[in-house]
Amino acid sequence: MTSAQPYQKDDLSSAQGVRSRTVGEIQVVEFILGTQMFAIELADTKEVINQTDITPLPEAPSYIRGIINLRGIVTTILDLKSLLHVTGEAVAGHKKRVIVLDSQISAKTIGILVDDVLAVTTYKTSDVDKDDSSADHAKNRLGVIRKKVHEGQDKERSELVILVNIEAIIKKIEATI
């Protein structure tokens, strides 16, 4: 995925394959918030666009950045950093992007503002530690992905990617959007 050509579901070889999952695998869109890596399931996304001018909404909650005109459709932009209480600024060189969510997530068209989108990646479900906690903050997470990163010929390190339950987050705030 390059900055010149945003991801859209239609760009995939089989749009039907997006909703159906291969047994034992999960496809995610990985992104950065501050200095942390996060992901949401690919099936929950429609497209990724470059950040555009956002029109602020008066008296809106702090996590609503505003609205944009996305090809004739008014789209509400949410600040995911604010919603998840993530602090810290992204490293220089990252370019803010908007991940437009699939229409099955909400009746309204919604985009989430992130510091940068890294990749669309497929993981084995065995690489995901499911979060079964009943704590309120844990309901925003589906789990944590153990990502293996190769650093040369024989070196490999592990990174943790937080798998966000975007559907649960949107359901909590839907009345305010």
For residue 158, which of 172, 170, 171, 147 has the smallest C-alpha distance? 147
Please check whether residue 52 lies inside any domain of the structure. Answer: yes
Extract the tokens encoding 134.
Answer: 């009943």
In which domain, by residue range, is 84 found? Answer: 32-176
- Please provide the distance, in angstroms rounded to a whole number, between the alpha carbons at the two ends of the chain: 29
We report the CATH number of the domain holding residue 106 as: 2.40.50.180
Cα–Cα distances (Å) from 2 to 10, 52, 68, 91, 101, in that order, read 16, 16, 22, 18, 19
The sheet that has 156-164: what strands, in order across it? 116-124, 25-33, 36-41, 156-164, 141-150, 128-130
Please check whether residue 18 lies inside any domain of the structure. Answer: no
Extract the tokens encoding 63.
Answer: 């996590």
Extract the tokens encoding 145.
Answer: 């992905």
- Split into its structural domains, the chain has a count of 1
Please check whether residue 2 lies inside any domain of the structure. Answer: no
Strands 36-41 and 156-164: parallel
Which distant-in-sequence residues (6+ apart) come within 8 Å of 53 by Cβ?
Answer: 68
Please check whether residue 1 lies inside any domain of the structure. Answer: no
Please check whether residue 103 lies inside any domain of the structure. Answer: yes
Q: For the chain, how many residues are written?
A: 177
User: Could you read off the pLDDT tens digit of each residue along the chain, which spans 177 residues?
Assistant: 433 344 454 443 333 334 445 678 999 999 999 999 999 999 999 999 998 899 999 999 999 999 999 999 999 999 999 999 998 887 777 789 999 999 999 989 999 999 999 999 999 988 888 876 555 555 788 889 988 877 777 777 788 999 999 999 999 998 888
Please check whether residue 23 lies inside any domain of the structure. Answer: no
